Amino acid sequence: MRDRHSRPKRMLGEKLIGFQGPSLALVLTGYALLQLGCSKEPADKEPMVSVQVSTAEKTTLNQVVSAQAILFPLQQAAITPKITAPVKQFFVNRGGKVHQGQLLARLENRDLIAASEENKGGLAQAQATYTTTTAASLPEELQKAKLDVDAAKKLLDAQEKVFQSREELFQQGALPRKEFDQSGVDVTQARNQYDIAQRHYDALQAVGKEQELKSASGQLQSAQGKYLGAEAQLSYSEIRSPINGVVTDRPVYPGEMAAAGTSLITVMDVSQIIAKAHISQPDASLLKLGDKASLTVPGETEPIDGKVTVISPALDPNSTTVEVWVQAPNASQRLKPGTSVQVSMLAKSVSDAVAVPAASILTAPDGATTVLTVGSDHRAHQTPVKTGIRDGDRVQIVEGVQPGDKVIVNGAYGLPDKTKVKVESPSETSPSKPTPASDNSATNSPIGERESQWNGR
């Protein structure tokens, strides 16, 4: 390659052939000084880095926890019969609205009706026996025992009077001793008969009456239990709805066998819908019952408002997440259980918060957070900050930055403190337009490498 300075040197040399002595020396000295001044650049030139900034401003920030969720009905009842019998008749179809207690289907039950009538007759017989025992048989025995006690008492009184009169006669010598002794024996016998009659009467009152009543009462209760059991079996043949809702499934047709324990009809209450989401434990700790929420449903143009109704107190052992329920109205029944939706829950709202873009926050390995602000001296200043809540791509600054401060959004990574910067708009920075920091010295530095990577994106 030809030296670009070779021709001027030759021309100059040719012109200097005619100079002699001091004149030639003077010319050469001036030429050397000129060459030195042209080739030397200023040694104190400072590199300038192009950055993009954003202004910190006061606004309202909402901390939102978002997650995918599945819709469930407010209530659901998969109704299963307790007996196995053919389906005699259905009274509702799939999609029909039902209310609590409404008859939905009836199973074949003629055998159960017969069993109920049989046990009903047994109950009536037991009631009659109980009435006879308590009102007739027992009072007669008690009455007879009472009469025996009264007769024994009268006999005892009479014998005692005879004994007293004979005792007076015996003392007067008008009665033989044999007759007096016989009178004493008669009194003793009369007293013994009275004691036996009294004990029998007491036994009937204390033991006999209680046992008779227990026997009659037990028979009556047994008959009642059998009748109630038959009535319960008969009631199982009638399938009723336990909740208000809509029939969502009816897999069996009339005439088919309905097996005990197998779902016959499914009823769902979809007047309210519940979105069940699984979120991380840190996010769940931000929520509380009653927090506002919204559901983004495929096919719906507007989000549907709801609220947090359940926050599980325990973690799911399989996913180590917390289950959260969001309940929302569904009067039009457009929300279908089983749909996958996006749920957003408002954990916290801060008004007049100083907000900066999240891209401006720099986090050190020790967890300290800083931002780079641009001062009036056109230099980057590292400023420690304390952050608050985050709303999308905006972060609350609790302390460290004031409204109106300019923070570096792009180009802050690895930028030393007090570096001279040039603020550019996003449209000014492009891969085809070099920045002032793209000279050799800036490109070879870490800052220059970061800016080169940004410009090359």
Is position 388 within any domain?
yes
Which regions of 94-224 does DSSP assign to beta strands (E)?
97-98, 103-107
Same domain, 359 and 446: yes
Question: Nearest-CA neighbor of 281 among 307, 318, 327, 313?
Answer: 313
Rg (CA), the chain: 55
Same domain, 277 and 294: yes
Burial class, 42, CB count within 10 angstroms (exposed 0-12 / middle 13-18 / buried 19+): exposed
Same domain, 156 and 189: yes
Q: Which residue stretches of 65-109 are H helix?
A: none
Which domain CATH number covers 345?
2.40.30.170
Q: What is the pLDDT of residue 138?
A: 55
pLDDT, tens only, 326-350: 999 998 888 999 999 999 999 888 8
Cα distance between residue 352 and residue 355, in whole Å: 9
Same domain, 390 and 432: yes
Same domain, 414 and 443: yes
Same domain, 310 and 370: no
Q: What is the pLDDT of residue 206?
A: 66
Cα distance between residue 429 and residue 51, in whole Å: 9
Please state the domain count of the chain.
Answer: 3
Q: Of 289, 315, 349, at which residue does a domain stop?
A: 349
Is position 305 within any domain?
yes
Q: What is the pLDDT of residue 357?
A: 92
3-state secondary structure of 154: helix
Same domain, 150 and 135: yes
Is position 97 within any domain?
no
Q: What is the pLDDT of residue 435?
A: 37
Q: With beta carbons less than 8 A apart as the criterion, state whether 185 and 220 touch.
A: no
Q: What is the pLDDT of residue 72?
A: 96
Residues forming beta bridges with residue 248, ordered by sequence position: none
Q: Of 297, 325, 349, at which residue does a domain stop?
A: 349
Same domain, 285 and 321: yes
Same domain, 277 and 369: no
Is position 122 within any domain?
yes
Q: Helices 110-132 and 209-235, interaxial angle, to 10°?
A: 160
Is position 80 within any domain?
no
pLDDT, tens only, 155-200: 888 888 888 888 888 888 777 888 878 888 888 888 899 899 888 8
Q: What is the pLDDT of residue 68?
A: 95
Q: What is the pLDDT of residue 418?
A: 86
pLDDT, tens only, 344-372: 999 888 888 999 999 889 888 888 899 99
Answer whether 0.75 is exceeded by the pTM.
Answer: no
Q: Residue for token digits 């009665």?
A: 175
Q: What is the pLDDT of residue 209?
A: 62
Same domain, 276 and 356: no
Q: What is the pLDDT of residue 6?
A: 46
Q: Of 189, 207, 225, at which residue does a domain stop?
A: 207
Same domain, 202 and 131: yes
Is position 448 within any domain?
yes
Is position 40 within any domain?
no
Amino acid 372 reads L
Which domain CATH number covers 416?
2.40.420.20
Q: What is the pLDDT of residue 140?
A: 67
Is position 292 within any domain?
yes
Host domain of residue 199 = 116-207
Q: What is the pLDDT of residue 17?
A: 43
Q: How far is CA 188 from CA 14, 75, 183, in A?
A: 183, 84, 9
pLDDT truncated to tens, each residue of the chain (457 aa)?
Answer: 444 444 444 444 444 444 444 444 444 445 444 454 544 445 456 778 888 889 999 999 988 999 999 999 999 999 999 999 999 999 999 999 999 999 999 999 988 898 888 888 888 888 888 777 766 555 667 778 888 888 888 888 888 888 888 888 888 877 788 887 888 888 888 889 989 988 887 777 665 566 667 777 888 888 899 899 999 889 999 999 999 999 999 999 999 999 998 999 999 999 999 999 999 999 999 999 999 999 999 988 899 999 999 999 999 888 899 999 999 999 888 899 999 999 999 988 888 899 999 988 988 888 889 999 988 888 888 899 999 888 888 999 998 899 998 998 887 777 888 888 888 876 544 443 333 333 333 333 333 333 333 333 3
Amino acid 245 reads G
Q: What is the pLDDT of residue 413?
A: 77
Same domain, 344 and 355: no
Question: Nearest-CA neighbor of 395 among 332, 337, 353?
Answer: 353
